[in-house]
Structure 1
Amino acid sequence: MRLVFMGTPDFSVPALRALHAAGHEIVAVYCQPPRPAGRGKKLQASPVQQAAEKLGLLVRHPLSLRKNEPEWADFAALRADAAIVAAYGLILPQAMLDAPRLGCLNIHASLLPRWRGASPIQSAILAGDTQSGVTIMQMEAGLDTGPMLLREAVPITATTTATSLHDALSALGADMALRVLADMPTPTPQPEEGVTYAPRLTREDGRIDWAKTATEIDRQIRALTPWPGTFTTLPDDTVLKIGAATPLPDTKHTAQPGTVLDDALTIACGSGAVRLTRLQKPGRGMMDADAFLRGQPLATGALLGAEQPDPA
């Protein structure tokens, strides 16, 4: 088929590569413009742009599509059979949704209608869902409201992280996109019940409230690592990022939430405890708990999170 591909982050790259390898004619790739990155704030192309350029594909990265009628016309002039959209990052106006012969098909990282919106992977883990998945959806003007072409689930276990789920759904979405284009199944309306929304995440979502249960804090760490990251503070108010922890929900204690319970970095929660296993201080890399404790011993009884400045 004659396709336009629209995506920006790492999540989208396997689908782009799979469509190209399958022999589809990708007439243009749309992605977000290069952004400042790193300490030098040099402009850096998105993962999709980098992958597209390696494949020798035409790349377009308009700043906005809203009221951008020249871009709408250029998009229509591509005469695409379909546009495959995967985490592109810009809202498509109706003129662009209608331009391809088969419309615009979205690879969405959830089992719609659960977790429409910006953070479906993280939201599923935070909520304690037992499964996530990918839905290939015919796009329309509403937020992830279009009819479904294909929907497949993957399990969420007690050790699933945002990274592992991201990678699984990214690979699954690439495979499903190929199957949808081969078979073009009949669209099915989304169920009216079970609609939930996944909000856009901020750094503030990473603050650990030690009054929550060990299970809730474990989900928060697994869901929000690496972005936006979870954090607390040491007794000297130094921000401490947490990369991994082991939940101990059956641990009994009478300590104030946030209290260090032993020399193995077991921290009291509102119910149960968690043992921190990966940590990072400002200006340092993420390290295992043993390495952290060699340079920063924490006394039993110390209180974490009593003061919480902005981690930025």
Structure 2
Amino acid sequence: MINNKSQRVVFFGSGYYTIPIVEKIKEHGLVLVVTTEPAGEFVDYLKKENIPYIYSKLKKEEDILRIKGVEPDLGILASYGAIIPREILYLFLKGILNIHPSLLPKYKGPSPVQYAILNGDTKSGTTIIKLDEKIDHGPIVEQEEIALFGNETLKNLTEKLFTIGREMIIEIVQKIEDGLPIKETKQDSFGEVFTKKITKDDGFINLDSPPAPDQLERMIRAYYPWPGVWFHAPSLARGTLANKIIKLLPQGKLQVEGKNIMSLKDFENGYPEGQEILKKLNMA
């Protein structure tokens, strides 16, 4: 159930790691959730908690009217996965706050966590910005930095950054409720980096020209659990491996298509061509 306060909040987001954010926001006047996720753990949570929601990328007039109908004051966005159109943006009297998992202006766009890991960054963080008409461009309201240690995966770093964002956003929402001023700092274009959307093909590696070992290790962590780092076993491989898809996983593990996860050592010992494949990857 949600706690209806005088401030009316709409949340835009998707993904299981945004559930704790919604859990906090529902005590601060949450009236509607807009998600690009048609089903899954996030939607199951909304149903269980009886939180009103719509599945929408905000291209249908009926969905825009639904948002307008709740007379929103404040919007909160986290991992929504679609552009907020201008006509929605200006419905919110107090604006829309975006929880972004990077140290803006670095890593704008859809894949900030992956890029931080791929580039071997030694720090990351979470930024709260006030949304404007450009992607991840609005003024910074708050930012918190953390150290990276070279063992983070997409999964656990995303969870950590959104956990930090949850605490940050609740403090800001409380200030807004109390009528306190919110400081906004214009983003500096210096250091601006844009990211692209990650596809399944980004995880593909060619056994004949594999990435350098350090780059491959970062790819494995940056693309776990999706899209994963994967390759096709050689078509002339002996036994049962021929043309199978093999996924490389963190912590020295892999998974042959149709098989359980195993260690690199078990793969090497269990398949005649295992050692040859691992040598090509500089992992033997």
TM-score bracket, normalised by the shorter chain, equals 0.7 to 0.9
Equivalent in the alignment of 1:225: 224
Amino acid at match of 2:28: H
Equivalent in the alignment of 1:251: none
Amino acid at match of 1:291: D
Equivalent in the alignment of 2:254: 279
Shift of 1:192: 1.2
On the 8 A contact 1:116/1:195 being kept in 2, the answer is: yes
Amino acid at match of 2:36: Q
Shift of 1:228: 0.6
Rounded Cα–Cα distance in structure 1 between residues aligned with 2:63 and 2:152: 40
1:8 aligns with 2:14: yes
The SS at the match of 2:132 is coil
Equivalent in the alignment of 2:249: 243
TM-score by length of 1: 0.77
Amino acid at match of 1:219: R
Amino acid at match of 2:169: A
Structure with bigger helix share is 2
Shift of 1:294: 4.3
The SS at the match of 2:124 is strand
Rounded Cα–Cα distance in structure 1 between residues aligned with 2:160 and 2:41: 17
1:164 aligns with 2:156: yes
Shift of 1:190: 0.7
Shift of 1:299: 6.0
Rounded Cα–Cα distance in structure 1 between residues aligned with 2:244 and 2:63: 48
On the 8 A contact 1:7/1:48 being kept in 2, the answer is: no
Task: Provide closer, same or farther for how the CA distance between residues 284 and 211 of structure 1 changes in structure 2, counting only shifts above 3 A.
Answer: closer
Shift of 1:73: 2.6
Rounded Cα–Cα distance in structure 1 between residues aligned with 2:250 and 2:186: 39
Structure 1: state its 5+ residue gaps.
35-44, 246-276, 306-312
2:46 to 46, 52, 72: 52
Equivalent in the alignment of 1:87: 79
Task: Provide closer, same or farther for how the CA distance between residues 294 and 214 of structure 1 changes in structure 2, counting only shifts above 3 A.
Answer: closer
Cα shift readout 1:202-255 (whole Å, capped 9, x = no counterpart) = 11111235553221111111111111100234342432110025xxxxxxxxxx
Equivalent in the alignment of 2:233: 234
Alignment of 1:42-191 (within 5 A): 45-62=39-56, 64-66=57-59, 68-184=60-176, 185-191=182-188
Task: Provide closer, same or farther for how the CA distance between residues 128 and 281 of structure 1 changes in structure 2, counting only shifts above 3 A.
Answer: same
Amino acid at match of 1:164: N
CA RMSD of aligned residues (A): 2.0
Cα shift readout 1:112-155 (whole Å, capped 9, x = no counterpart) = 11111111111110011111111111111111111111111122
On the 8 A contact 2:127/2:140 being kept in 1, the answer is: yes
Structure 2: state its 5+ residue gaps.
1-6, 177-181, 238-242
Equivalent in the alignment of 1:26: 30
Task: Provide closer, same or farther for how the CA distance between residues 160 and 218 of structure 1 changes in structure 2, counting only shifts above 3 A.
Answer: same
The SS at the match of 1:136 is strand
TM-score by length of 2: 0.85
Shift of 1:301: 4.8
Deviating more after overlay: 136-145 vs 70-79: 70-79
Amino acid at match of 2:125: G
Rounded Cα–Cα distance in structure 2 between residues aligned with 1:178 and 1:55: 19
Q: Percent identity?
A: 30
Structure with bigger strand share is 1
Rounded Cα–Cα distance in structure 1 between residues aligned with 2:86 and 2:274: 60
Shift of 1:278: 0.4
On the 8 A contact 2:253/2:263 being kept in 1, the answer is: yes
Equivalent in the alignment of 2:179: none
Amino acid at match of 2:258: G
